[in-house]
């Protein structure tokens, strides 16, 4: 196992992590922005007001992108176990 192999697997794992977290983070970001604009327009300064809309938007994003997220992580795990690890250890 060379350091290049470890770096390549780590890079792929970080890429997959970013891909899996992006839909939920974007949903929370957009919802927070909309709620922030609403709070600024109405001068309501309640900190807990944005919690429920963010939670609901993240649940909706998870339901909408869940099958894709599952497929991405399953493909990476299968490739890692079936292809990469045997190739690295020389089986």
Residue tagged 């891909």 (tokens): 19
Tell me the per-residue pLDDT of 17-56, one tens digit each, with 9 for 90 and over.
999 999 999 999 999 999 999 988 988 888 788 899 999 9
Q: What SS3 state is found at 33?
A: helix
Q: What's the confidence (pLDDT) of residue 63? A: 96
Task: Tell whether the model's pLDDT for residue 91 goes beyond 80.
Answer: no
The answer to the question of residue 38 being in a domain is yes
* Residue 82, in any domain of the structure: yes
- Is residue 45 in a domain? yes
Structural domain harbouring 55: 3-86
Report the number of distinct structural domains present in the chain.
1
Is the pLDDT assigned to residue 78 strictly greater than 90?
yes
Supply the pLDDT for residue 67: 96
**Domain annotation covers residue 91:** no
* Ranges of H-type helices in 43-80: 51-79
Give the CA dihedral 13, 18, 23, 28, nearest 10 degrees: 130
Q: Answer whether 57's CB lies under 8 Å from 31's CB.
A: yes
């Amino acid at each position: 196992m060379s350091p290049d192999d470890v770096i390549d697997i780590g890079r792929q794992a970080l890429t997959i992590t970013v891909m899996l977290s992006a839909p939920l983070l974007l949903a929370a970001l957009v919802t927070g922005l909309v709620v922030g604009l609403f709070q600024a327009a109405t001068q309501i300064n309640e900190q807990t007001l944005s919690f429920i809309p963010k939670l609901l938007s993240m649940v909706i994003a998870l339901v909408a992108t869940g099958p894709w997220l599952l497929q991405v992580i399953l493909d990476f795990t299968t490739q890692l176990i079936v292809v990469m690890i045997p190739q690295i250890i020389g089986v």
